[in-house]
């Protein structure tokens, strides 16, 4: 059995990359400034540049569409590229390579495209509209892609390992606000978390809070405050956004009859809308109140700290919405 250590979210990501590069010589890493002394915008790959040769981890020009396409070609030849977007926001420059080619390739002629795009996303760091976006809904809407969003260091390692080994293209969303602020127990060595499985991180009978990414931590803080009011909230961490764990979603909805869905991305046609539609279609008779969503506002992410705080969901907002649901 693997021993465990306490690691930050970002260290768990680095460890997953290290384990997989050591295990499989076909795993390579590339992106803007990931190699050399810089070692990535957030230093995720810096420890690896001193350990692996330049053909295993290397820099690319600032041309996302080109180097994602290169990754698809490498995948078709049997390699397993891990492609870093410096920020998830820049993924728009490679959109055609992802949804028009990589995602459809297996359906068109059977070629596997086992790449992973690491996409540092989310706000809360006063980084403004070009460095704070949550683009998951674009990719959950694209057949052929898998999309994961870990909330804890253990899941960050386990889901990245599973993504690298998956034969499908996977968008791996990293919440930047968790990088160095979230710590947790992480198994050593090889560790996988299956793609497509949600996890109940807190049991409760009064209201279900369904979240992912950084909002799982906010939901846990909210649940502790709600407990002081004798409200027991159940928290379901989706972990995988595509494919959704429909069984887990419906189970918690049927258990409590009251559901609050929380995510940092804007609400309009977001992942929360799909979850709400699933519950309305498959568990309507168990509901005791309307399904609620608490999301980012339908505006670009503000730079101003008070405006960004108003834009983002958070623990206190979750408390207020969950309390209202329980009192419905």
Structure tokens at 97: 């390579």
| Contacts with 164 (C-beta within 8 Å, 6 or more apart), sequence order | 16, 20, 24, 27, 80, 82, 114, 116
Sign for the pseudo-dihedral over CA of 286, 288, 294, 297: positive
Pick the catalytic residue: 106, 131, 141, 263?
A: 131
User: Maximum CA pair distance of the chain?
Assistant: 60
Give me the helices (H) in 166-270, please: 214-227, 246-256
Instruction: Evaluate the omega torsion of the peptide bond into residue 243 and state whether it is cis, within 30 degrees of 0.
Output: yes
CB 111 within 8 Å of CB 70: no
Cα distances (angstroms) measured from residue 302 to each of 16, 67, 126, 299, 316: 33, 30, 8, 8, 20
CB 181 within 8 Å of CB 153: no
- Give per-residue burial for 253-290: e unless 16+ CB within 10 Å, then b: bbbbbbbbbbbbbbbeebbbbbbbebbeeebeeebebe
Residue 144 phi, psi dihedral angles, 5° rounding: 105, -10
Is residue 131 annotated as part of the catalytic site, yes or no?
Answer: yes
- Indicate which residues carry an active-site annotation: 131
């Amino acid at each position: 059995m693997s021993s465990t250590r306490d690691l930050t979210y970002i260290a768990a990501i680095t460890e997953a990359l290290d384990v997989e590069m050591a295990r499989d010589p076909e795993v390579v890493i590339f992106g803007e400034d990931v190699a050399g002394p810089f070692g990535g915008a957030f230093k995720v790959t810096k420890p690896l540049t001193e350990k692996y040769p330049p053909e295993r981890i290397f820099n690319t020009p600032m041309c996302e569409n080109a180097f994602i396409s290169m990754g698809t070609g490498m995948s078709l030849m049997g390699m397993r590229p891990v492609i870093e977007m410096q920020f998830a926001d820049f993924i728009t420059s490679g959109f055609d390579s992802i949804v028009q080619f990589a995602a459809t390739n297996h359906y068109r002629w059977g070629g596997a495209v086992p790449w992973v795009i690491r996409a540092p996303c989310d706000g809360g760091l006063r980084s403004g509209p070009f460095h704070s976006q949550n683009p998951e809904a674009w990719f959950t809407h694209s057949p052929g892609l898998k999309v994961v969003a870990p909330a804890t260091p253990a899941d960050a390692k386990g889901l990245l390992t599973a993504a690298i080994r998956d034969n499908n293209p996977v968008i791996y969303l990293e919440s930047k606000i968790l990088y160095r602020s979230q710590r947790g127990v992480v198994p050593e060595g090889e560790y996988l978390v299956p793609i497509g499985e949600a996890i109940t991180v807190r049991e409760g009978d009064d209201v279900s809070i369904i979240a992912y990414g950084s909002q799982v931590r906010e939901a846990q803080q909210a649940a502790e405050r709600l407990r002081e009011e004798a409200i027991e909230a159940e928290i379901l961490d989706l972990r995988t956004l595509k494919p959704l764990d429909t069984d887990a979603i419906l189970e918690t909805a049927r258990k409590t009859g009251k559901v609050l869905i929380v995510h940092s991305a804007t609400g309009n046609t977001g992942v929360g809308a799909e979850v709400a539609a699933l519950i309305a279609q498959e568990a309507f008779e168990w509901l005791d109140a309307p399904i609620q969503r608490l999301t980012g506002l339908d505006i670009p992410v503000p730079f101003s700290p008070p405006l960004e705080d108003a834009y983002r969901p958070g623990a206190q907002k979750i408390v207020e919405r969950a309390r209202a649901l329980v009192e419905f």
